[in-house]
Amino acid sequence: MDATLIGQSLVSGLGIGCVYGLIGIGFCVIYNASGIVNFAQGAFVMLGGMITHVLLVRGELPYGLAILLAVLIVALLGVAVERLVVRPLWNRNAPMFVMILATLAAQIVIERLTYLAIDDQPKTLPVFTDLPPVMLRGIAVNMQSLWIVAGSLAIVAALALFFKTTRTGKAMRACAINREAAALQGIPVHSMLALAFALSAGLGAVAGIMLTPTQYTAFDIGVPFAISGFIAAIIGGFGRPFGAFLGGLMLGVTQAGAILAFGAGMKTIVALSILLLFLFVRPSGILGPAK
């Protein structure tokens, strides 16, 4: 096995790892705001790519506008999930497991609605910039991978800024530390939950849109991506957004290595085994638990 091949899969692993990381951050944002693990996270990834495709091909909108609109629509759908599924259960003090089951059911419902509204054919999007791949010591890095890495890093930086400097970001962090104390300080905890869903749905959509040109999207890709994102969040220590991003990168690279070593069929099994390994041996992740 030569070095370029290893380098090549390292690059593709980092690209997909960024996507897992963004999805993982989505998990953490909702978890921090509410203590809920939203298993419908994958639906937002799928919707990002699908809605952009529809706007681009059927709506004939310019690419940039289509992407922007798609992210906004998915963020709104995130709020809709919060309002229709999570909020009623939350108000009834449903046990955590019921909440998980409900979001998993929401995932299936969204999947099916997409299937009925669009179709079951795989869709793809054009690459963002149609340029030849950059050569780095014999390793071809395609432009879309660069977009994914650069875009993800920019988003992570923007999120860090948002949580550190803005009033809303600080309020969300306060909710993560202690919801009751935050409520006593006058922070509207309920709107923070809605905002968290909007934010993490938007993150999922962006991840889905950036990824689609390199692979494809279809109504049923959500669950595997949700699981990869969850694994990323676990590796990083659940509830730590930046740990999740790091976890995503590690997962992406490990998976790429596994594909190289055992073939593409083993990709999911390796990822799930990593999850189990972490859950059994170090459930608090590489950075330790949040709080």
Partner 1 sequence: MTSSPNIISRKGPDLRRVFPVPAQPAPRNRLAAAAPWLVAACIVGYALFAGGYPATVVGFALIYAIFVSGLNIFMGLTAQVSFGQSAFAAVGGYASAILTTQYDWGWLPAMVAGIAAALAAAFAIGYPTLRLKGHYLSMATLAIGLIAHEIAVEWESVTMGYLGISGIPPIDIAGYELAGDRAILIMLSLCVAATVFAVSRIRSSRLGRAFAGLAGSEDAARALGIDVARYKLVSFLLAASFASFSGSLFVHVVGYVSPEVFSLHMVILSFTMLYVGGIGTVAGPVIGALVVSALPETFRAFRDYQDLAYGTALILLLIFAPRGLAGLFAALDRKPSSDRGKGGTAP
User: Considering the rule CB under 8 A, would residue 89 count as an interface residue with partner 1?
Assistant: yes
Q: How far apart are CA 191 and CA 172, in angstroms?
A: 10
Q: Which of 16, 29, 66, 85 binds partner 1 (CB under 8 A)?
A: 85
User: Considering the rule CB under 8 A, would residue 45 count as an interface residue with partner 1?
Assistant: no
Q: How far apart are CA 225 and CA 109, in angstroms?
A: 17
Give the dihedral of Cα atoms 153, 146, 60, 76; nearest 10 deg.
-20
Single out the segment in contact with partner 1 by CB under 8 A; choices: 43-51, 131-139, 227-235, 243-251.
227-235
User: Considering the rule CB under 8 A, would residue 92 count as an interface residue with partner 1?
Assistant: yes
Long-range pairs for 256-260: beta carbons < 8 A, 24 or more residues apart: 256/9, 256/10, 256/12, 256/13, 256/16, 257/9, 257/13, 259/9, 260/1, 260/5, 260/6, 260/9
User: Considering the rule CB under 8 A, would residue 96 count as an interface residue with partner 1?
Assistant: yes
From the CB of 82, what's the least distance to partner 1, in Å? 13
From the CB of 199, what's the least distance to partner 1, in Å? 19
Exposure class string for 155-193: b at 16+ Cβ within 10 A, else e: bbeebeeebeeeeebebbebbbeebeebeeeebebeebb
Which candidate, 40, 61, 28, 49, places its Cα nearest to that of 176?
A: 28
From the CB of 31, what's the least distance to partner 1, in Å? 8
CB neighbours of 258 closer than 8 A, spacing ≥ 6? 266, 267, 270
User: Considering the rule CB under 8 A, would residue 234 count as an interface residue with partner 1?
Assistant: yes
Q: Which residues, numbered 268-287, are part of the site for partner 1 (CB under 8 A)?
A: 268-269, 272-273, 275-276, 279-280, 283
From the CB of 201, what's the least distance to partner 1, in Å? 17
Exposure class string for 122-151: b at 16+ Cβ within 10 A, else e: ebebeebeeeeeeeeeebebbbbbbbbbeb
From the CB of 269, what's the least distance to partner 1, in Å? 5
Interaction pattern, residues 98-117, with partner 1; x per rule: CB under 8 A: x-xxx-xxx-xx-xxx-xx-
User: Considering the rule CB under 8 A, would residue 177 count as an interface residue with partner 1?
Assistant: no
> What crossing angle do the helices spanning 189-211 and 3-34 adopt, rounded to 10°?
160
User: Considering the rule CB under 8 A, would residue 54 count as an interface residue with partner 1?
Assistant: no
Single out the segment in contact with partner 1 by CB under 8 A; choices: 59-67, 95-103, 205-213, 250-258.
95-103
**Which amino acid is present at 121?**
Q
From the CB of 145, what's the least distance to partner 1, in Å? 26
From the CB of 33, what's the least distance to partner 1, in Å? 15
Residues near partner 1 (CB under 8 A), total? 39
User: Considering the rule CB under 8 A, would residue 97 count as an interface residue with partner 1?
Assistant: yes
Residues near partner 1 (CB under 8 A) are 37, 84-85, 88-89, 92, 94, 96-98, 100-102, 104-106, 108-109, 111-113, 115-116, 223, 227, 230, 234, 238, 265-266, 268-269, 272-273, 275-276, 279-280, 283
